[in-house]
Structure 1
Amino acid sequence: MRGFSELDLGPVESLGVSVVSQPGATLLSLTADALGGRPQGIPADWRAHIRANAPSDSIDVLSPLFAPDHSGVPYCLTPDTTARSVPDIATYLEQVADLSPDVLLDDLTSDFDGAVPPQWRPVVDHPRHWIASYVRVLEAVWTAFAPIWQRADPLLKRETERVGTAVVGGTLDVLLAGINSRYRFEGTSLYVPDVDPEKFSLNGRRLLLIPVISGSSASIFSFEQPDVAWIGYPMPGMGLLWESRKPPAAGDPLTLIVGEMRALILRRVGRPATMGEIASVLNCSASTATYHCGQLEMAGLIVRERHGRHVRLRRTDRGDSLIDILT
């Protein structure tokens, strides 16, 4: 049964955070969705395109990584997020191709406390052959996807600006609360869905935010590195890339922080409004409006109040302050 791993960030106001453009995280997310049976929200036509261009044995090669009971990528196969300059995909794949089989086997032994699960047995028996097959699969996935990544630079720059604005404006907790619809942010902890749930503490390490250009529910992370913890999350606005359109120019600061829909909600509830009125403003379903309002309520920016038979929403003092700062 899937649960949630917890990362205790400590006081958010003193959190060290950086945005990192790491194509390797996107590659792993694409691979997990298209070939590993781990949905990340990739559009169906692109999922089909990646599968059609992948080697015929891809699913067999990847099966140890995405087994139902023991899902995870050994540390030695993950992208290096601590380098002073993030390597491109070609360099990352060269590093994996040159990986010593002994390093891979040591990581597997450490990850599973010496009891390596059966699905990893073919890798243990023939590590060099498996590494070469794994790199071959990743190369095919990236070749199929590369046109999307090549158009991503404006969105990556915009996301860096969005996070920087949140840090400077003291609204990083608001940003973290809405970073991924699959995550929860409560108190000082971020909860992420995980097949093997564990509890981690940042303990003064730097938090790296890695925008992932794969799908709307992308989730990939590593909390065990000694110097940093990193989270891969859906790049806001990535649908524009899939649809081969140019990304829009950066909007107002409030939209950069909370997103377009939640910015519209915050501005509308300067005076009390019903959920139906909000859904009308957003031109969306009641369930979508309820979801976005729930996220804003969790962040302490709006509150529900009963007026007779009706429930209305209005901004809190914190919500008013955010509007004042960013207007």
Structure 2
Amino acid sequence: MDRPLAPARLRIGLADAHRWPLRVAIAPLASLIALLADAYHPRGHLPGPWRDAIRQMLPARAREAVAPVVDPRTPAVPNCLIPMPEAHLVPLADDLDRIVTAGRDVLLDELELELGPQVPGHWQPVARQPLRWVGMYAAALQRAGDAVTPLWTRAEALLEREVERVGAAAARGALAELLAGVHPEARVEDGALVLPDYHDTLDLHVGSAGLVLIPMLTGTHRIIVQHRGDELTHIAYPLPGRNRLLHVEPDLARPTPDALEALVGPARARVLRHLDRPTTAGDVADALLAVPSAATRHVTVLEEAGLVARERQGRNVVVRRTVRGTQLLALYDG
């Protein structure tokens, strides 16, 4: 479950902390969720200029799309809407692809798991039209991601320093002290890290896969925790030193369009739309008005994302849109 933390209790055993595989992931998605939550439901820690700028960068339709996820009444968000990274560097585009291709059934199943069979009123638009809503949600995150790119770029040195800090703490056997600093209400007692939580009292442990730490750019003490059953897998926490960035006057980038092109690029969007039926690689190049080598590069990227497939039929290579590609197209064009 992914959940921003606030008082109750979440306890993480530290007895084997020195054996944990530990990684730091640099991924902007968690920061975007936290910044949007801070902007629309402020706790008083996000500077006013940043709060105003973030509100202005999303039109009403985009704000509606992110509203259920950042609403403080939401105790837990489906994992498929805030996928947590496993790699060290995860571009926003990769996480958005994971969101839009998770599928209708996965989203509805996780909604029921996290929120119960009676979906709360502010999640009803999601339950009624899950594919359409996910497309709007991903496009809103893309728009927000492009807009705060200058902030993320300025944070590069701080992020690198945080990776070094975590590595040094692990090497010195000071992981407990490090984790106790991720939230002002965190504390170590009786061999466990105790964190505030929304509504559950949970006892967690870190399994053989280890723990992934994700530093976030956020104006509050928000934390996002993911666990599978009683196994803790991820903690996203405020990046130390972030306030020096947030108190700089915002320099927002121009948002990208609320469209498929914003996610996969104009040329690859044209390829997906062209593939209503399987066609040859040469026909794809003709549709793009591109040389075959350029068309091949675009098809290769789409194939690696699982959105198209290629197969040889006689002397021709035939390209077809996969089910995943059709679902993605339906999110934006349906």
1:114-263 maps to which residues of 2 (within 5 A)?
Answer: 114-205=117-208, 206-224=210-228, 229-243=233-247
Unaligned runs of 5+ in 2: 1-5, 250-334
- 2:28 aligned with 1:23: yes
Partner of 1:78: 82
> Identity of aligned pairs, percent?
32
Give me the TM-score of the superposition, normalised by structure 1: 0.66
Unaligned runs of 5+ in 1: 246-327
Is the 1:4–1:193 Cα contact (8 Å) retained in structure 2? yes
Cα deviation per residue 1:265-291 (whole Å; 9 max; x = unaligned)?
xxxxxxxxxxxxxxxxxxxxxxxxxxx
Greater RCO (CA < 8 Å, at least 6 residues apart): 2
Residue in structure 2 matching 1:95, options 98, 101, 109 = 98
Give me the TM-score of the superposition, normalised by structure 2: 0.65
SS of corresponding position for 2:68: coil
Alpha-carbon distance in 2 for matches of 1:174, 1:152: 24
Cα deviation per residue 1:82-128 (whole Å; 9 max; x = unaligned)?
2x454301222233233312211111122235343333222111111
Alpha-carbon distance in 1 for matches of 2:42, 2:12: 21
Alpha-carbon distance in 2 for matches of 1:225, 1:197: 13
The 3 A distance-change label for structure 1 pair 216 and 179 is: same
The 3 A distance-change label for structure 1 pair 114 and 10 is: farther
The 3 A distance-change label for structure 1 pair 69 and 237 is: closer
Partner of 2:316: none
Alpha-carbon distance in 2 for matches of 1:55, 1:196: 32
Amino acid at match of 1:240: R
Alpha-carbon distance in 2 for matches of 1:49, 1:67: 19
Partner of 2:39: 34
Partner of 2:47: 43
* Count of equivalent residues: 243
Amino acid at match of 1:151: R
Superposition RMSD in Å: 2.7
Amino acid at match of 2:200: P
SS of corresponding position for 2:228: coil
The 3 A distance-change label for structure 1 pair 68 and 156 is: closer
Deviates more, 1:147-156 or 1:192-201: 192-201
